[in-house]
């Protein structure tokens, strides 16, 4: 890993707050990184080190430096795969949002496996290493966030966990809805009859909430805009199937699926603020042709 340096300005909202509060509550740095910055005096306010409990003020310059010694977790090197170009929708020095192809895995399941989106990201960034922060199902296309350094991984993970990243999906489902918008609040667990699947109230079920809105209706199908309040495996797929509106050509949950055609689920839009700089982002992944039925 390289040395990563950030030069930041304290916003008005954090005037007269402590150094520690700025690092933890504004930058969302985890405790182990704050500890490293403090121990090695690598957090400076106006070019001087200040203890964690000292007050900072709007407009102060904050300098942070992260090095390899801040990160002790082992990491399995990825196979660099340049056989397919990575479709980058947006990027800065910390992370990127890419347009994942339907049929590609988010990441390889085995150390010697390639041809996954993260392998293509390794080819794009080579010799820099990409890092996973969330996943899309293999048959789901669209916007996927990939970290470009270890500093930003816990911040992006926390933003996703705390719903500060708004991800909107588009999907075509079978049938029409009586209500043009709604919320599905049904716990999802494992399906003991098929290890590939999940089911409502299955084994070890966990809270799952999905919001949907009908965008348009064509013939016997509906285009939905979907947002997740939780992030369970196959959540959109299981919830919509539970309403008897399965995603068209879902190989696991649509009994009428044509397995020669793609599943019609697309990660369409990501809205968020960037780590460290808090710039607003609104990134849209273009629809693949089959989504425009």
Active site residues: 137
Provide the terminal-to-terminal Cα distance of the chain, rounded to the nearest Å: 45
Residue of 169, 232, 166 whose CA lies nearest to 201: 232
Q: Write phi, then psi, for 267 (nearest 5 degrees).
A: -80, 100
For residue 152, the SS3 value is coil
Residue 72: Cβ-neighbour burial (10 angstroms; 0-12, 13-18, 19+): exposed
Rounded to whole angstroms, how far apart are CA atoms 28 and 4? Answer: 17
* SS percent in the chain: helix, strand, coil, step 5: 20, 35, 50
Sequence-distant (6+) residues with CB within 8 A of 163 are 229
């Amino acid at each position: 890993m390289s040395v990563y340096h950030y030069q930041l300005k304290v916003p008005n909202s954090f005037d007269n707050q402590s150094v520690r509060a700025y690092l933890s509550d504004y930058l969302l740095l985890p405790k182990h990184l704050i500890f490293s910055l403090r121990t090695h005096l690598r957090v400076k306010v106006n070019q001087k080190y200040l203890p964690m409990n000292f007050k900072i003020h709007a407009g102060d310059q904050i300098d942070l430096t992260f090095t390899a010694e801040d990160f002790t977790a082992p990491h399995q090197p990825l196979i660099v795969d340049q056989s397919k170009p990575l479709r980058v929708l947006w990027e800065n020095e910390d992370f990127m949002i890419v347009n994942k192809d339907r049929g590609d895995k988010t990441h390889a399941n085995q150390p010697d496996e390639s041809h996954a989106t993260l392998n293509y990201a390794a080819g794009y960034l080579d010799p820099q290493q990409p890092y996973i922060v969330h996943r899309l199902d293999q048959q789901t296309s669209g916007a996927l966030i990939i970290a470009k350094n270890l500093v930003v991984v816990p911040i992006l993970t926390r933003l996703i966990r705390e719903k500060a990243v708004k991800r909107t999906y588009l999907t075509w489902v079978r049938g029409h809805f009586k209500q043009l918008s709604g919320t599905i609040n049904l716990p999802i667990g494992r399906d003991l009859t098929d290890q590939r699947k999940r089911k409502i109230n299955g084994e070890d079920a966990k809270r799952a909430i999905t919001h949907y809105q009908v965008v348009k209706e064509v013939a016997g199908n509906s285009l939905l805009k979907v947002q997740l309040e939780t992030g369970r495996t196959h959540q959109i797929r299981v919830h919509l199937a539970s309403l008897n509106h399965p995603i068209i050509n879902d190989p696991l949950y649509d009994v009428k699926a044509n397995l020669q055609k793609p599943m019609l689920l697309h990660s369409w839009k990501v809205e968020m603020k960037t780590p460290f700089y808090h710039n607003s982002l609104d990134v849209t992944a273009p629809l693949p042709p089959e989504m425009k039925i």
